[in-house]
Amino acid sequence: MPHKAIADKKFAFLGAGIIAGVFIERLLKAGITRPDHIVATDPREDRLEELKNQFGIQVHTENKRAADFGDIVVLAMPPGAVKAVLSESCQAVHEEQIMISLAAAVPTWLIESVLCKPVPVVRVIPNTPSLIGQGMNPYCLGKHVSETALPLILSFLDVFGKSLRLEERLMNAATALTAVGPTYIFPIIKTLRDASIRLGLSEEDAQMAAAQTVLGAASLVLQTGRTPENLKMMIATRTLKEADTQELFAHAVADAFAKISAAEKKLTE
C-alpha cells in the first residue's frame, strides 16, 4: 500500500500555524492517518480550537504534553521559538522518534544542540502546494539519522509531493526557490487572468485557463526534460520582454535568499 512505512504512525505538531495546518490537512485527506493519531500544540487557544473543530485532532497548549505522543514530531513553530520549545520538551522526546523541522533558517545542529539526547532530526523546507500533494520539499539530514530511518522519512515526505535531498549549506538557497516560490508564480496567474478578463473571458474561464497554462508549461519541462530555452521555440509568437522578467525574478530570489540567510545568522549567533 502507498506510504505503508507511516501507516498507523502518530504525529505531533509543535506549533499550529499555517504550514502545520497544510500538513495536517494533507495527512488526513490523503488517508494516511486518523484524527486521533494527530496532536497539535500552540499558545493560541483560538487557533487550537479552530484546528480541533476543522479536523477533529487532539490539541494542547503545553508542548511537553505532546512531545512524547508522536512517532513523528513536527517542529512547526516560528524559528525564534525553536530553542525555547525544545528546551521545554526535551525530557519528553525519545530517541525512537523522528523529528521533522519545518522551521525556516534553523540548522539541524542548532536543534541537536538543544535536545538532551540523540534524536534523529530532519530539516525540511515546506511549500504550500503540499496541501494537494504537489509540494516541492527539499530536505537535509541531521547527524543522528540512520539509514534504517530513511524509509520512514521518505514515506512521510512523499505524502506531500516531491522531495530533494540536499547538503545543509544549500538549504537557504532552496528556501528562496521553493518555499517562497509560489509567491513568484501566483502573481503571474493573476496577471494572465486579469488580462484575459479584459479581453472578454469570464473570470472563471480566465482563472482556469491561466492556471492550466502555467501548470502545463511546468509539466512540459518536467516530462520532456527539455530546457525552458528550448521549449519556448515551439511557439512562434513571443511578446514578453524576457530580460526585464528575468531581472525581476532573479532579484526576488536573491532578496529572499538574503533575508533567510540574515535570519539564520541572527538565530545562530
Q: What stretches in the chain show pLDDT beneath 50?
A: 1
Do 42 and 152 fall into the same domain? yes
Same domain, 197 and 236: yes
What does R_g of the chain's alpha carbons equal in angstroms? 20
Identify whether 38 is part of a domain: yes
**Are residues 227 and 134 part of one domain?**
no
Cα dist from 42 to 15, 61, 88, 101, 191, whole Å: 5, 5, 13, 16, 37
Asked which of 171, 194, 227 is the last residue of a domain, the reply is: 171
The pLDDT assigned to 116 comes to: 85
pLDDT of residue 2: 57
55 shares a domain with 125: yes
User: How many domains in the chain?
Assistant: 2
* Domain finish residue from 171, 203, 226: 171
Q: How many CB atoms lie within 10 A of CB 35?
A: 15
Whether 177 maps to a domain, the answer reads no
Entry pTM: 0.94
Q: Same structural domain for residues 132 and 256?
A: no
Query: From CA 105, how far away is CA 193, in angstroms rounded?
Result: 34
Contact 76, 16 (CB under 8 A): yes
Q: Check residue 80 and give its pLDDT.
A: 95
List Cβ neighbours of 218 (8 Å cut-off, separation of 6 or more).
none
Q: Which of 93, 89, 23, 10 is nearest to 51 (CA)?
A: 23
Three-state SS at 143: coil
Short-list 50, 56, 48, CA closest to 29: 56
In a shared domain, residues 12 and 84: yes
- Is 150 found in the same domain as 226? no
Q: Is residue 60 part of a domain?
A: yes
Same domain, 213 and 103: no
Cα 82 from Cα 30, distance rounded (Å): 28
DSSP 142: -
Do both 9 and 84 map to the same domain? Answer: yes
- Note whether 69 and 137 are same-domain residues: yes
Residues 159, 207, single domain; the answer is: no
- Within 10 angstroms of residue 62's Cβ, the number of other Cβ atoms is 12
Q: Residue 176 domain-assigned?
A: no
Cα-based distances in Å from 82 to 86, 88, 110, 262, 266: 6, 10, 9, 17, 13
Domain assignment of residue 163, given as a range: 4-171
155 shares its domain with 39: yes
Q: What pLDDT, on the 0 to 100 scale, is given for residue 157?
A: 97
Residue 90 lies in a domain: yes
Q: Is residue 230 part of a domain?
A: yes
Residue 235 is predicted with a pLDDT of: 96
Domain containing residue 71: CATH number: 3.40.50.720
Least Cα distance to 38 among 54, 58, 53 occurs for 58
Of 171, 202, 229, the one marking the end of a domain is 171
Query: What is residue 3's predicted lDDT score, i.e. its pLDDT?
Result: 78
262: left (phi over 0), alpha (psi -120 to 50) or beta: alpha
One-letter identity of residue 139: Y
